[in-house]
Amino acid sequence: MKQVKDQFNRPLRDIRISLTDQCNFRCSYCMPAEIFGPDYPFLPKEHYLSFSEIIRVVQAVTELGVEKVRLTGGEPLLRKDLPELIHDLYTKTMIKDIALTTNGVLLPKYAKELKDAGLQRVNISMDALDDDIFKRMNGRSVSVKTVLKGIEAAKSAGLDIKINMVVKKGVNDEQILPMAAYFKNEGIPLRFIEFMDVGSTNGWQLSSVVSKQEIVERIDRQFPVKPVDKAYYGEVADRYIYADGSGEFGVISSVTESFCSTCTRARVSADGKLYTCLFATKGHDLKPVLRSSALVEEVKEYIASIWQRRTDRYSDERTEETAKKRPKIEMSYIGG
């Protein structure tokens, strides 16, 4: 298998596939309620890639060197028969590292079935332990207890778990230490994510960013930590272990420390567009080739030709001014 690389010699190793642009949350940083109200025109279901089309995409990209597939959204658990897709990914492709990003609400219903189907890992989004803060952020008055039940269900099913916390200054940054302490005691890795300008409804505002340095310093004052090496090429989180040996956390410095130079990730939107950067202005439509009589080999060649021309370095190059002028794709559409 020959690894496909882009013009900066970055290999394609990780693909994220959004299953739906809808969610049962309306998070303020991803789907602000003033934009995504009850009348928002979400994609008609017939525009979504079918499960068989997703399987063909994954079969193609694994032949290009992709090692990981993460299913995202919106909320992927809203997609009917998701365990069936995961079973087919596990049995009909060469991918053995299958992960799911979810808000956790539906995990008590599906966690065991997903594990039995072949899912290995879940990344669960949780931005606060304080119930009032959490409800304000998720926009749907979903309680912390509801997500904790989802985490417990995933743990009981034997799934590996990571928690994702997007940190927004003046909104939930006071929750950094409570979240660190709680998941330290639970032995579950926590990933802090710098708030970033994802989508055209959110502006590039450094005033909303709590930097990686500040997050680490706050935690280190309470629980001494030390950095550890990257686990693999292209890992986006800078990881730290607690000095007492009780576990680890990581920080994804999406804004203050760009990782464009080692980016190995592509994304496929729910309607089948391939994006080579989270901040891309447009995608490459896979549906025409998928819905023709093209063989997997032809799908592979099409995706390879897109990746080989890739020159994305948005986070390296952006400024406040360029971000204001540049249209972007909504996070709910492209996935995280």
Is there a binding annotation on residue 70? yes
Whether residue 125 is annotated as binding a ligand: the answer is: yes
Q: Is 218 one of the annotated binding-site residues?
A: no
Q: Where are the domains of the chain?
A: 14-163+259-334
Is residue 68 part of an annotated ligand binding site? no
Tell me the C-alpha distance between 218 and 249, whole Å. Answer: 13
Residue 266 assigned ligand-binding role:
yes
Q: Domain 14-163+259-334, CATH 3.30.470.20 — does that match?
A: no
To the question of whether residue 93 is assigned a binding role by annotation, the answer is: no
- pLDDT tens readout for residues 79-110: 989 999 999 999 999 998 999 999 999 999 99
**Averaging pLDDT over each range in 99-103, 139-143, 252-256, 320-324, which range is the top one?**
99-103
153 is in an annotated binding site: no
Q: Is 196 annotated as a binding residue?
A: yes
Give 252: exposed, middle or buried? Use CB within 10 Å, 0-12, 13-18, 19+.
buried
The answer to whether 263 is a known ligand-binding residue is yes
Check whether 323 has a pLDDT greater than 60: no
pTM higher than 0.85, yes or no? yes
Q: Phi then psi for 278, rounded to 5 degrees?
A: -60, -30
Does the annotation list 260 as a binding residue?
Answer: yes
pLDDT single digits (tens) 141-162:
889 999 999 999 999 999 999 9
* Mean pLDDT value of segment 300-328: 77
For 263-274, letters b (16+ CB in 10 Å) and e give bbbbbbbbbbbb
